[in-house]
Amino acid sequence: MELPVQEWRAHAHQKWESLTSSAFREMFSASSDVSQNFQACLIQLQHEDEKILQELSHDNLVRKDPEASAFYKQEGNKRFQGKKYACAAVLYSKALSHATKGSEQIAVCFANRSAALFHLGQYQVCLEDIERALDSGYPELLVYKVLLRRAECLLQLQKPQEAATIFRELEEKLVSQNSLPANKRQAVLTHIGNLKALVPKRQSGVITHNPGDPRQDLVLCSQNPRISNASSAISLCLSTAKGRHLIAAEDISPGETLVKEEAFVSVLIPEKRPLPAYSVERNWDTEVGNEEQHCHLCLVQVIAPVPCQGCSYAVYCSYKCRDKAHQDYHWAECVLGSVLLTLGVFANLALRATLVAGFTQVSRLVQEYCRDLKETKRRNLLETRHSIEEHPGKTEGHIPGCDADGVYRNSYRAIFSLHPHLEHQTPEHYFLCGFTAAAICRKLQEAGLEAAVLGQKGPAERCNAATTDDWSAELSNLGAALLRHMLQLQCNTQGVYTIRATGIGCHVVESRQQVRVASALFPVLSLMNHSCDPNTTVSFQGRTAVVRAVKPITEAQEVSHCYGPHCSRKKVEERQQLLRSQYFFDCQCHACLEEQELEVRCSPPFCCVHCRTPLQGKDVLHCATVACTFTADRGQLIFRLRDLQLQVSKARELLAAGNTDVFCTTMGRNIFLLILCTWRNLFWNRRKLSKPFGSWKTVSVKEGVSYRQSTLSWHRLRTAWHRHTLHVLTGRLQLSTYSGVSKMWKRFTAHPAWNWVMSFSSWLRSFLMGEHLLFPLPCALFGSLLLSWVLLHCSSPIHLSLCLLSGAF
């Protein structure tokens, strides 16, 4: 759910494919000006696109619905009568989310939920709900119920004095209240008397002492003067190889707190579930999504959430969090709730960052970083390189993201300075982000929020966006900032994790699991580089990240943490692939280098291209034969070996899953290389094959090259095929052969008859194997025999590619 829904992504893809102008694509792909690319995406946004987005948003409606509130309340009452208190509390919370502002339903649902919480032993939370029910206008005739429940909670919490005060107030209210039937009044007074008699005996009652979270005691020993929310034991550096990174300014012991930072912005990850049907047959589940279990501001887990007054989606842990969220950003998001859920977490996070920062600061930074982007980058790069060479630990004045006083703070400037990696983004993903940013700005216009977002005052300055298509320069700056943030998030967003109990209630044995509940931006935490074997660990207290050392860190050593792929969970090839695809770098940490070195030592020997003698050496391999001068780079050979191994692993997974069509599509090129390399070795290396195949006779072909032909037995052909196949898969493939067949493959695929060749090969594969690749070895043997005839008789490249594909597939 971090990216837009699949339907919107498919629509953006179709929009991108429909752009027939190659000049537009080239301009869009080559431009590094985010503002210019946003304008290009804005031009492509038409009214039809807005209608499609509106239709998609209907699946994520967040409006208040009194009928849904009444239904949830009724279902909650049924669960309460059946003593399913946890489920009842969840249903009452859903009813509160859908209740309209100022309705009596809100007070009744708060009171009903307090009853369920009382039976669950959540006495403190029960008291909070009772207070909310009274503040929301709970009916006067029923006030005695919640007051009696409040007194019982106070007794359970070992507060007899406060309970006695409630008892006296309740007795006076019951005596003066004539609307309550006499028998009911007498029953309540009798119950109060019984509770008052038990007050002296409540010395050893239920003790609900909460020891608190031990991580609350994790504080910084001393504040860093140059980095906010960081310890003075670390310092900020900049280099051309590593960019901005943190190093130890002194020796650091394990367990020492290095960073304690609150997220600049955070967005809960919604759990994709079908909307509940309003029917009695609905199978209600006590499990709820992230958006219903956590406060949308501070991210703490809640069992009695306070709903937003304008939408049914956002919930909070208290009135304080609700008011602060509404003041900072939710005043705009509340109107766009369904659209933001459709466009994904990244779009929501980008918009929230700009709303929290304020348009004045956003506009200033957009003009500063985008208008003179090229010139500023060139000047800063030269100055930075010169200063780094002379002062490698210097941090004053030249590190991006720092304020004018040279301090790196948890601020919007630090967020804006995060690298968007424009050079690594695919043009289609770039267009998707720009198209989405344009749609958000258009929705702000339609909702009449443009003037408020841009900080304009007074009704005279408010633009009626619903009836005009004018696009202000200020809104363009906002769109450029949204686009930049969406591009930043792929590499700079941080997942917020928590340990969650599976289920609600009191159990003897309780299962817990780690779940990702939100995505957030931490400016200081983003300074830390990745390591597959990090020397720190990151934990979370709500939306606050705490970084602690887990190993001794010596002075001047880099402080790192893991971006996800850890050496204890994944192999080096898989880690490298994940990091390269998401973060656009090849990891050179100690764990990767050590594991790669171990693989090099354990890897099979590579052979010389000319004489097939095992190569020797460490980094640069050379032939052991004195007369041979062949050399090769070990890293290049290992890279090709890993690539082949990864392709074979993918092929095995596809075959195990029964997905033969995908297998044939993705593995066609590799099988082509495998067969062609094998038969080049078999027929073009006469010296190696003269021994195993006995007598030969010379045959002249069109090219004038002499070959020897023999009557090959099935056993010898299978042995030769198996040996050369292993050479290819284990990395013993000759370099010249590999590069040569790769070029041949490109020429074949570029030929106009390629589509016809592929169609025919697919038909031949279906004919030979009945749509299933169940017998790969017989198929390979058949293709090998067919290929031997092709190499001796075919002269046309088209015929050759046809026969190769027929045998390969």
SS3 per-residue string spanning 325-382: HHHHHHHHHCCCHHHHHHHCHHHHHHHHHHHHHCHHHHHHHHHHHHHCHHHHHHHHHH
DSSP state of 447: T
| 772-784: average pLDDT | 48
Q: Residues near 554 by Cβ (< 8 Å), separated by ≥ 6?
A: 248, 251
Interhelix angle 22-30/427-446, nearest 10 degrees = 90
Select the more confidently predicted residue: 212 or 628.
628
pLDDT at 770: 42
| 215-232: average pLDDT | 80
pLDDT at 782: 55
Q: Are strands 697-700 and 706-709 parallel, antiparallel or unpaired?
A: antiparallel
Model confidence pLDDT, tens digit, residues 637-672: 777 776 777 777 777 777 677 665 554 544 455 554
Q: CA quadruple 653, 657, 660, 662: dihedral positive or negative?
A: negative
Distance (Å, rounded) from C-alpha 20 to C-alpha 215? 57
Q: Is it the case that residue 776 has pLDDT exceeding 50?
A: no
| Cβ burial, residue 407 (10 Å; 0-12/13-18/19+) | middle
Model confidence pLDDT, tens digit, residues 236-295: 998 888 889 999 999 999 999 999 999 999 999 987 654 443 333 443 344 577 888 899
Select the more confidently predicted residue: 530 or 196.
530
pLDDT at 792: 44
Model confidence pLDDT, tens digit, residues 685-741: 433 333 333 333 333 333 333 333 333 333 444 444 444 444 443 334 443 444 454
Model confidence pLDDT, tens digit, residues 282-318: 433 445 778 888 999 999 989 999 999 999 999 999 9
Neighbouring CB atoms inside 10 A of 1's CB total 16
pLDDT at 593: 85
Among all chains, which residue has been given the structure tokens 């995406």? 41
Max mean pLDDT among 199-208, 511-520, 549-558 falls in 549-558
Tokens of 137: 């206008």
pLDDT at 600: 61
pLDDT at 756: 60
Query: Of 56-70, 85-99, 228-242, where does mean pLDDT reach its minimum?
Result: 56-70
- For the stretch 340-343, contacts whose Cβ atoms lie closer than 8 Å and that sit 24 or more positions apart, written own/partner, are 340/440, 341/57, 341/60, 341/62, 341/270, 341/313, 342/4, 342/5, 342/8, 342/53, 342/56, 342/57, 342/59, 342/60, 343/4, 343/5, 343/8, 343/53, 343/436, 343/439, 343/440
Among all chains, which residue has been given the structure tokens 């764990």? 591
Q: Is it the case that residue 632 has pLDDT exceeding 50?
A: yes
pLDDT at 640: 72
pLDDT at 131: 93
Q: CA quadruple 790, 792, 793, 794: dihedral positive or negative?
A: positive
Q: What are the distances in angstroms from CA 333 to CA 308, 692, 795?
A: 11, 76, 67
Q: Is it the case that residue 752 has pLDDT exceeding 70?
A: no
| 491-517: average pLDDT | 75
pLDDT at 474: 81
pLDDT at 786: 54
Pick from 488, 358, 345, 478: which is nearest to 415 by CA?
A: 488
pLDDT at 525: 94
Q: What is the percentage of the chain residues whose pLDDT exceeds 70? A: 67
Which run of H or E residues covers position 257?
Answer: strand 257-262
Q: Is it the case that residue 684 has pLDDT exceeding 70?
A: no
Q: Predicted confidence band at 144 (pLDDT cuts at 50, 70, 90)?
A: confident
Query: Of 108-122, 188-202, 413-427, 437-451, where does mean pLDDT reach its minimum?
Result: 188-202
Q: Residues near 757 by Cβ (< 8 Å), separated by ≥ 6?
A: 748, 751, 798, 801, 802, 805
Pick from 249, 392, 415, 245: which is nearest to 384 by CA?
A: 392
